[in-house]
Amino acid sequence: MPIITNIEDLRLLAQKRVPRMFYDYTDSGSWTESTYRANSSDFERIKFRQRVAVNMENRTLKTTMAGQEVAMPVALAPTGMTGMQHADGEILAARAAEKFGVPFTLSTMSICSIEDIAAHTCAPFWFQLYVMRDRDFIKRLIERAKAAKCPALVLTLDLQMVGQRHKDLKNGLSTPPKLTLPNIIDMMFKPRWCLGMLGTRRRGFGNLIGHAKDATDMASLSGWVARQFDPCLSWDDVEWIRKQWDGKLIIKGILDAEDARLAVACGADALIVSNHGGRQLDGAPSSIAALPAVVDAVGDRIEVHMDGGIRSGQDVIKALALGAKGVYLGRAFLYGLGAMGEQGVVKCLDLIRKELDLTMAFCGVTDVKRVDSNILLPGTFQAAG
């Protein structure tokens, strides 16, 4: 087993162990992937003020996100087909998050279902919702989330249609993977993944099969999904969902200050500055570049979170310094999951926690709730925006 000291180590191991189509699904963006790359590279422009001769004892990373106590201001992001990175992937990731005391967010397009997660974990988890044309299905999905006692609904608004993702198209992405000759050859070199998949019954979209009308198997489901993403989605629909859901409502996919103000107006409890990991509009700003303007637009009227490009605890604290109250790990935890299963997700969270704690100490802060722009070198973070 290689020595794992950072998220990049987990990525390289996942690349060796996960079939190409599913690894590429995680580690890619749309079109030229410029926004995908900027999500990470823009963090590098932001520099810290190192402080010395400051008492660094008794540090704490504890805070809250959307009213929930968390061990550090980090949640696991909703990611589609997580259970194809590793068998029963959503269950394993939720268990890892539970161990760390951070929220896990289950995607609508997950392999393990809402009921699977509820049956295999004790901690409350959040549920991410895509708005489909079939509003009756959406109502039933919301009721299932309520029955599972999910305290927060994460409503994604930036997937009314799917961005052009060249790698997914070239790989013929599907779940389960089609047994073509290239796929069979690729999987022959991924024995750990194959053995795991042989040992689970969860290989399709667990939240959809048997629940969506006229989608009783994978063949009928693919057509149903293609028809269901709703290009007519509007803020009126968001208000309708707000009426259906009496828990915390978090709006995901905000990059523009005006959209942030509309999220406040519709009664959301929090918003996530996000460009869908660079998988939708290529050429959109990075999440960290968009963050300051959104924070300025909404002030303290709504809690602001962000995702996109987080690969270290240093990235986490930079986002906090620019006004985020919490961040979400997507690819970082998927690398861990693909590399080492539940142990890999735990390792990812442990790396993030240690890096966040050390960086906070070097910046002369002992309570994560007190992190602000004073820890940044003046002028450097403006370049990212």
Containing H/E element for 156?
strand 152-156
Question: Which among 333, 354, 324 has a CA at the least distance from the CA of 106?
Answer: 333
- State residue 316 phi and psi, 5-degree precision: -60, -50
Contact 205, 221 (CB under 8 A): yes
**Helix, strand, or coil (residue 99):** helix
The pLDDT, as a whole number, for residue 209 is 86
Domain spans, the chain: 7-384
The pLDDT, as a whole number, for residue 230 is 82
Tokens for 267? 């009664």
Task: Give the annotated binding-site residues for FMN.
Answer: 78-80, 107, 128, 130, 156, 252, 274, 307-311, 330-331
Residue 293 class from Cβ within 10 Å (0-12 exposed, 13-18 middle, 19+ buried)? middle
Task: Give the annotated binding-site residues for glyoxylate.
Answer: 25, 165, 276, 279
Scanning the structure block, which residue is given the tokens 């009426």? 243
The pLDDT, as a whole number, for residue 219 is 62
Q: What is the pLDDT along the chain (385 residues), one digit of tens a residue?
A: 789 999 999 999 999 999 999 999 999 999 999 999 999 999 999 999 999 999 999 999 999 999 999 999 999 999 999 999 999 999 999 999 999 999 999 999 999 999 999 999 999 999 999 998 999 999 999 999 999 999 999 999 998 888 889 998 888 888 888 888 988 999 999 999 999 999 999 999 999 988 887 766 666 666 777 788 888 899 999 999 999 999 999 999 999 999 999 999 999 999 999 999 999 999 999 999 999 999 999 999 999 999 999 999 999 999 999 999 999 999 999 999 999 999 999 999 999 999 999 999 999 999 999 999 999 998 876 644 4
Contact 31, 281 (CB under 8 A): no
CATH superfamily of 7-384: Aldolase class I (3.20.20.70)
Tokens for 357? 């704690």
Question: What positions carry a catalytic annotation?
Answer: 276
**Beta bridge partners of residue 254, listed in sequence order:** 273
| Burial 39-69, CB ≥16 within 10 A → b, else e | bbebbeebebeeeeeeebeeeebebebbebe
Contact 123, 97 (CB under 8 A): yes
Number of H helices, E strands in the chain: 16, 10
d(CA 230, CA 221): 16
Q: What is the dihedral of CA 342, 277, 101, 333, to 10 degrees?
A: 20
